Amino acid sequence: MDQDNQDRELGMQRAIPRRDFLNGVALAAGGVLAGDPLLAALMAEEFAPEKAPGYYPPALMGMRGNHDGTFTYAHSLRDGKPWDSAGPTVKTGETYDLVVVGGGISGLAAAYFYRQKVGASARILVLDNHDDFGGHAKRNEFRADKRMLLSYGGAQSIESPGEYSQVAKGLLSELGIETERFYKAYDQKLYSQLGTAAFFDKETFGADRLIPGMNATPWPEFLAKAPLSETARRDIARVYTERVDYLPGLSREEKLAKLGKISYADYLLKYCKLTPEALPFFQTFPHDLFCVGIDAVSARACYEAGDDYQSFTYPGFDGLGFPEHEKEEPYIFHFPDGNAAIARLLVRLLVAGAVPGGTMDDVVTARVDYSKLDAANSRVRIRLNSTVVHVQHADGEKARKEVEIAYVRGGKLATVHAKSCILACYNGMIPYICPELPQKQKEALSYLVKAPLVYTHVALRNWTPFQKLGVHHIVAPGGYHTYVALDFPVSLGQYQFPSTPEEPMVLFMLRTPCRPGLSPRDQHRAGRMELMQTPFSTFERNIRDQLARMLGGAGFDAARDIEGITVNRWAHGYAFTPNALFDPEWKEGEQPWVIGRKRFGSIAIANSDAGASAYSDVAIDQAHRAVTELTG
């Protein structure tokens, strides 16, 4: 079949509203459709898209995450252009007690903690380069069959809240989040009759085949249907079932040390004696957690990931004599829009009237009034669509008591002044925007390469194919998206999760671009490059094609059953996390994220990058540390 016919069959001609151009650059460049009143309003003399009545980024589909327009000015700094190349500077004359760069959970928490410390009269400005606040904690909204479907653009769940620091627990509580409520809100029974399938694709395995019953059917029986060689099937079943000590003669500590120094791929090949033909089955298992495959993740990290993280069960450890994994808190602490709810609750407390309501229930369906975020009469202001390009002490090296912050908004360069500044943005970008930092600190910050990944959400007309197949997760080791799952079943407040298969549903699909064989940091750089060069149409075609191939046998029709697609492209995704196989064993205090986050005059550094751990509690803790450094 030629490409055109194939595209038609997949429904590529169906309208997916791609209104992802409401960002600074497209508008500044005059990318406006004639006759659209919303866009006409946006093109008014003052660049203030957030004030337009229809401005509501959570409902935008198409390419989201690091959407077009967010990186133009940042990348031109990276490419060596001077920060003031965007044109003459507009001095706004605005002065603040604190300017926060980055409106993710860390930046918003920093604003909150600062106000708590300094008092309600504190004047604070938060600048963010996206068209919505929340950073990775973004909200995706769909409409299907006249109902609203919610999902998350990035940060998914409050993971293990019992292990949060007192500071982070305290903040959740002040926001009104009672995590025990999720034991009821999250329907832990809805999918109990549905399991995991593996999808073997023809490009990787020679034939397309979807096999339900993974991790539930005895392995020899499950693998009998897989398009794998007899040797590969036998070997996979063997490592999953035999209880052999593959590291005999070593103590527990020595075993852990050894596992920490070899990749999981090497462990399977050299110690478990797995045939190389079987490796592709496991290659992408760690993508979700580590954004690289088993070539670049230590066997210890796979062991520690647990027995059954999102259906990925790593074999080979049962015979090592290790104690059973301690039971962790269930993975249920999930708002229907993920951790975007934390960001929305923070904004509710920071900016009066912007997020209506007063509870963790009503925030779920609250519609944010974006026109209120940057009101001149508000003590706390959040200015979106604003890329900070330069941060510098304005009163010389000796004083360092005043900071000038320059940002580009609507194509225009503007400056504001503040007594203090917190950089809660991607730490790897700080050397470009704050060149006055000491060289050693800049080098440390540059080490913190973030991991790229894509959270795609597809609104489906219904989920009967999943019901027919008896699955809610699909592991697709060679797929364009390597993991697919029905959304988390959470009903909170007025929001009711689609609980019958005939109802519309949001489907999650994970893609992690990487280049096996390189170091993780180089894999991340290569993956980021790939992401930035991949248009939405390529994603859409691959999404439709993969879903048709996986689910077609159960009645799924890609042209008929897809109601919306949002590709959350996180070119700058997870915070850098040290990798035992590739990074040095830094002494305490000499880790690049610790050197990198040092306060410099009136500038402090937050973001989860500063804690080298991609979690919301870390983002909060780092915000608190940065505020404490500035306020004493």
Ligand X SMILES: Cc1cc2nc3c(=O)[nH]c(=O)nc-3n(C[C@H](O)[C@H](O)[C@H](O)COP(=O)(O)OP(=O)(O)OC[C@H]3O[C@@H](n4cnc5c(N)ncnc54)[C@H](O)[C@@H]3O)c2cc1C
387 binds ligand X (CB under 6 A): yes
Task: Identify the DSSP state of 197.
Answer: E
Q: Is 499 helix (H, G, I), strand (E, B) or coil?
A: coil
Q: Show the 3-state SS of 272-334.
A: CCCCHHHHHHHCCCCHHHHCCCCCCCEHHHHHHCCCCECCECCCCCCCCCCCCCCCCCCCCCC
Closest distance to ligand X from the beta carbon of 335 (Å): 11
Which of 24, 57, 62, 154: binder of ligand X (CB under 6 A)? 154
Site residues (CB under 6 A) for ligand X, limited to 156-175: 156-157, 159
Which of 39, 366, 607, 626: binder of ligand X (CB under 6 A)? 607
107 binds ligand X (CB under 6 A): yes
Q: Which of the ranges 49-57, 151-159, 577-585, 624-632 carries the binding residues for ligand X, by CB under 6 A?
A: 151-159
527 binds ligand X (CB under 6 A): no
Which of 58, 102, 520, 601: binder of ligand X (CB under 6 A)? 102
Q: Which is nearer to ligand X, 259 or 543 (CB)?
A: 543
Cα–Cα distance, 236 to 475 (Å, whole number)? 15
106 binds ligand X (CB under 6 A): yes
Closest distance to ligand X from the beta carbon of 10 (Å): 26
Site residues (CB under 6 A) for ligand X, limited to 118-147: 127-130, 135-137
485 binds ligand X (CB under 6 A): no
Q: Which is nearer to ligand X, 316 or 611 (CB)?
A: 611
CB 466 within 8 A of CB 499: no
Site residues (CB under 6 A) for ligand X, limited to 440-469: 453, 455
Closest CA to 496 of 256, 336, 620, 349: 336
Q: Which is nearer to ligand X, 219 or 455 (CB)?
A: 455
If 0-12 CB within 10 Å is exposed, 13-18 middle and 19+ buried, where does residue 251 land? Answer: exposed
Tell me the two tokens of residue 402: 């005043």
Q: Which of the ranges 115-123, 152-160, 295-303, 555-563 carries the binding residues for ligand X, by CB under 6 A?
A: 152-160
Which residue carries 């320059």 as its tokens? 406
Q: Which of the ranges 34-42, 172-180, 549-557, 615-623 carries the binding residues for ligand X, by CB under 6 A?
A: 615-623
Which of 283, 415, 566, 608: binder of ligand X (CB under 6 A)? 608
CB 64 within 8 A of CB 568: yes
Closest CA to 528 of 445, 426, 434: 426
Q: Tell me how many residues contact ligand X (CB under 6 A).
A: 39
Closest distance to ligand X from the beta carbon of 48 (Å): 17
Cα–Cα distance, 80 to 68 (Å, whole number)? 20
Site residues (CB under 6 A) for ligand X, limited to 194-233: none
Q: Are strands 89-101 and 124-127 parallel, antiparallel or unpaired?
A: parallel
Cβ-based neighbours of 456, under 8 Å, separated by 6 or more: 481, 508, 509, 510, 511, 539, 543, 565, 566, 567, 568
Which of 433, 547, 550, 571: binder of ligand X (CB under 6 A)? 433
Closest distance to ligand X from the beta carbon of 185 (Å): 16
CB 287 within 8 A of CB 482: yes
CB 456 within 8 A of CB 511: yes
Tell me the two tokens of residue 408: 């580009």
Q: Which is nearer to ligand X, 107 or 431 (CB)?
A: 107
615 binds ligand X (CB under 6 A): yes
Q: Which is nearer to ligand X, 156 or 462 (CB)?
A: 156
Tell me the two tokens of residue 190: 């809805």
Tell me the two tokens of residue 285: 């298992």
69 binds ligand X (CB under 6 A): no
574 binds ligand X (CB under 6 A): yes
Cα–Cα distance, 77 to 213 (Å, whole number)? 50
Closest CA to 414 of 105, 159, 178, 73: 73
First to last CA, the chain: 68
CA atoms within 13 A on the CB side of 8: 4
Closest distance to ligand X from the beta carbon of 577 (Å): 11
Site residues (CB under 6 A) for ligand X, limited to 24-43: none
Q: Which is nearer to ligand X, 196 or 607 (CB)?
A: 607
546 binds ligand X (CB under 6 A): no
Per-residue x/- track, 413-432, ligand X (CB under 6 A) = -----------xxx--x---
Q: Which of the ranges 42-50, 103-111, 199-207, 216-224 carries the binding residues for ligand X, by CB under 6 A?
A: 103-111
Q: In the complex, which residues of this chain contact ligand X (CB under 6 A)?
A: 74, 101-107, 127-130, 135-137, 154-157, 159, 339, 387-388, 424-426, 429, 433, 453, 455, 570, 573-574, 607-608, 614-616, 619
